[in-house]
């Protein structure tokens, strides 16, 4: 790879750039971001080699888009307008249906590959970028057959070099499933944080009692609202459905406690312990 | 310390024994447990030096109780019956009100110190015991004034040697606050696990999409139901209250999404991000 245009130089884009730089030392990395401070940081940190504008992507061999998913809906069609016939455009957004729909009839649809690397941390911005973020992580590719064969191959080569495991899925199924294993945990974590903070208003000592279990459960509540609000908006129907099921399960647990049915409380937890064997596969 | 009687040789008791062994190499550690397999494991692992029966505690210098909190209600008064006048008895249960009440009028009340080291992992049994589990962790001591002065001093010396930070609190306040920062996160995690497992029945691929964020949020769902059921039972009123507040917050979030008020969704998360600065103090 000779050059990479990074649209969004935050945690995901920045980490992608760091790995690319290591694997392809000759690759020049251009950064595009509406956040000037992030762009300066990315340059200072060596995440990018040069600042650029979105119109410059006609020079790009690869464009990697890692920005809030609502902005992708506007920016992705523009980028497809600007690129050359040979350019590969990848987006890494946490929703896929609306994004795939937004460029469905674009004349350069075959230059685009819809991806979702299941990787990240609760931090954001170029300062949060790290090497090997994608190592052994699952990367969901959607509508692979809509991408030109040569560009599929190029993208898969990059993903392989970064150590990702590939899974193929249609955008509708992706958005439905990811609501359960990613979007819902963010809401459960944010609302747990909220519940405890509300209490803490009058009881400042409470956090002194918090241990590593609480910290683990509430970790995702540190995540960026600017990134997550558009995700919830785009995946509204699925997220509302999972959230409803989650609330029902909590209400059921509460009613078991209210009815003093602690045998059933035990069974609820025992059955869910099964998550151990399921999670043993997750790094 | 010459000898320690461990009532319960699981994660907490076992980890306590390992540290005691390191700090007081001459201390002989006796293990008592109704689970024969755990007792054998503890012996094989070197967590204890010898098996014992609860009646043997009349020889004990220190007794450390780390068993399910419902069993403590029965066992603690018995132990106070059996011990010598000089014995220090510490319990490490996650609830304190009912336990303190159970021995309130016991003639040996002053031999007992009510503690709750905020330490642990999602694992259980002597195999899960580790060194330094208590290092830099908060240890809540309740009703300290009800313990004999010499035995307070002895207990504080042990806790200091194990690296714990001490906080004093009355049992009622302890149970109320710990419901927020510990008991509630376990339920939120168990129910998140349940919600996703229910979905997974027909969609086995779903867990292949789970990342480290999901794993972190659902980690506590691996915890022992045998330990947690009695905790929820003993702290029923507080846990039901926190659970109600949590469910209300989730329902509010859901209604914001249903009403497409994503500005408010953003604000909910932004406000909760404040958890970052609060958590920075937790190890």
* CA A25 – CA A2 distance, rounded (Å): 9
Range with lowest mean pLDDT among A28-42, A113-127, A190-204, B148-162 = A190-204
Q: Does residue B213 carry a pLDDT above 80?
A: yes
Q: How confident is the model at residue B125 (pLDDT cuts 50, 70, 90)?
A: very high
In angstroms, the separation between the Cα of residue A237 and the nearest Cα of chain B is 9
Mean pLDDT of B67-71: 97
The per-residue pLDDT for B202 is: 61
Range with lowest mean pLDDT among B9-18, B34-43, B117-126 = B117-126
Mean pLDDT of B212-236: 94
CATH 3.20.20.70, domain B174-279, yes or no: no
Picking from B186, B201, B209 by the largest number of A CB atoms within 10 A of its own CB, the best residue to mutate is B209
The per-residue pLDDT for A283 is: 42
Q: Does residue B121 carry a pLDDT above 70?
A: yes
Phi-psi region of A136 (alpha: psi -120 to 50; beta: other; left: phi over 0): left
Q: Does residue A83 carry a pLDDT above 80?
A: yes
By the 8 A CB rule, do A139 and A93 touch?
no
Structure tokens at A77: 């069609």
Q: Where do we find the tokens 């691929």?
A: B205
Q: Does residue B24 carry a pLDDT above 70?
A: yes
Mean pLDDT of A51-64: 97
Mean pLDDT of B58-67: 97
Mean pLDDT of A7-14: 97
Mean pLDDT of A251-275: 96
A159-197 pLDDT tens trace: 999 999 999 999 999 999 999 999 999 999 999 999 998
Mean pLDDT of B220-233: 95
Q: Nearest residue of A to residue B176 by CA position?
A: A206
* CA A176 – CA B203 distance, rounded (Å): 11
**Percent of all residues in chain B with a pLDDT value above 90, rounded to a whole number:** 88
Using a CB-CB cut-off of 8 Å, the residues of chain A touching B184 are 192, 195-196
The per-residue pLDDT for A202 is: 61
Q: How confident is the model at residue A55 (pLDDT cuts 50, 70, 90)?
A: very high
Q: Does residue B25 carry a pLDDT above 50?
A: yes
Which stretch of DSSP H or E encloses residue B175? Answer: helix B171-178
Q: Nearest residue of A to residue B246 by CA position?
A: A195
Range with lowest mean pLDDT among B50-59, B86-95, B206-215 = B206-215
Establish, for the pair of chains A and B, how many residue pairs have beta carbons separated by less than 8 Å. 308
A23-53 pLDDT tens trace: 999 999 999 999 999 999 999 999 999 999 9
Phi first, then psi: give them for residue A28, nearest 5 degrees.
-95, 130
Selection from A106, A105, A116, A108 nearest residue A65 by Cα: A116
- Residue of A193, A247, A253 lying closest to B250 (CB–CB): A247
Q: Same topology for domains A3-169 and A174-279, yes or no?
A: no
Using a CB-CB cut-off of 8 Å, the residues of chain A touching B218 are 185, 275, 279
The verdict on a CB contact (< 8 Å) between A217 and B220 is: yes
- Residue of A191, A266, A267 lying closest to B246 (CB–CB): A191
The per-residue pLDDT for B280 is: 72
Average pLDDT over chain B reads 94
Q: Does residue A135 carry a pLDDT above 60?
A: yes
The per-residue pLDDT for A277 is: 80
Domain segments of chain B as ranges: 3-169, 174-279
Q: Nearest residue of A to residue B244 by CA position?
A: A254
The per-residue pLDDT for A204 is: 63
ipTM for this prediction = 0.92
Q: Does residue B209 carry a pLDDT above 90?
A: no
Q: Nearest residue of A to residue B189 by CA position?
A: A217
Superfamily (CATH) of domain A3-169 = NAD(P)-binding Rossmann-like Domain (3.40.50.720)
Strand partners, A29: A4
Mean pLDDT of A76-90: 98
């Amino acid at each position: 790879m000779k050059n990479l245009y990074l649209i969004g130089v935050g945690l995901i884009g920045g980490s992608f750039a760091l790995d690319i730089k290591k694997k392809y030392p000759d690759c020049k990395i251009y950064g595009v971001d509406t956040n000037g401070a992030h762009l300066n940081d990315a340059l200072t940190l060596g995440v990018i080699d040069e600042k650029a504008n979105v119109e410059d992507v006609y020079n790009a061999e690869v464009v990697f888009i890692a920005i809030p998913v609502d902005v992708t809906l506007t920016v992705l069609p523009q980028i497809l307008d600007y690129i050359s016939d040979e350019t590969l455009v990848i987006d890494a957004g946490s929703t896929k249906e609306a994004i795939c729909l937004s460029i469905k009839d674009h004349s350069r649809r075959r230059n685009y590959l819809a991806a979702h690397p299941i990787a990240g941390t609760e931090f954001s911005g170029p300062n949060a970028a790290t090497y090997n973020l994608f190592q052994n992580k699952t990367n969901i590719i959607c509508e692979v057959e809509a991408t030109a064969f040569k560009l599929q191959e190029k993208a898969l080569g990059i993903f392989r070099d970064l150590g990702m495991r590939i899974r193929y899925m249609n955008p509708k199924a992706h958005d439905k499933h990811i609501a359960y294993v990613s979007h819902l945990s963010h809401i459960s974590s944010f609302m747990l944080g909220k519940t405890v903070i509300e209490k803490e208003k009058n009881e400042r000592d409470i956090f002194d009692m918090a241990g590593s279990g609480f910290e683990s459960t509430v970790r995702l509540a540190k995540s960026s609202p600017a990134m997550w609000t558009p995700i919830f908006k785009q995946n509204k129907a699925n997220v509302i459905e999972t959230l409803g099921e989650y609330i029902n399960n909590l209400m059921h647990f509460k009613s078991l406690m209210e009815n003093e049915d602690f045998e059933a409380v035990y069974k609820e937890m025992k059955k869910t312990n099964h998550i151990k064997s399921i999670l043993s596969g997750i790094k």
